[in-house]
């Protein structure tokens, strides 16, 4: 069991509970995926920021759903975290 991953899961659950004040549901879900990819890669927010040419506060905002990265940034995050970027569209339920 990875204590760092457990800590991040607790943080993610807290972020979901603060969804209304932090961002939209899709932004929070994307932030959760970015956090998971970063943790799987064994990177801190600061390390990820350096690798993608961003700042640590910018990564923190992405991870809590306060901002949404563009496609170029998502590709870079996927690359440096050895992740596969998969994008799909789903029909919104009526």
Kindly state the tokens that stand for 39.
Answer: 């943790």
pLDDT 10s per residue in the chain (94 long)? Answer: 565 555 555 555 555 555 444 567 878 999 999 999 999 999 999 999 999 999 999 999 999 999 989 999 999 999 999 999 999 888 988 8
Phi-psi region of 82 (alpha: psi -120 to 50; beta: other; left: phi over 0): left
Cα gap 66→61, rounded to integer Å? 5
Q: What is the CATH number of domain 3-80?
A: 1.10.260.40
Q: Which pTM was predicted?
A: 0.72
C-beta separation of 63 from 36 below 8 A = no
């Amino acid at each position: 069991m990875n204590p760092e991953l457990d800590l991040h899961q607790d943080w993610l659950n807290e972020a979901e509970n603060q969804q209304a004040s932090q961002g939209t549901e899709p932004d929070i879900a994307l932030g959760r995926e970015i956090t998971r990819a970063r943790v799987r890669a064994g990177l801190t927010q600061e390390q990820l920021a350096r690798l993608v040419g961003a700042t640590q506060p910018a990564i923190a905002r992405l991870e809590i759903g306060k901002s949404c990265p563009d496609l170029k940034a998502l590709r870079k995050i996927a690359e440096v975290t050895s992740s596969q970027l998969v994008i799909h569209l789903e029909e919104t339920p009526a």
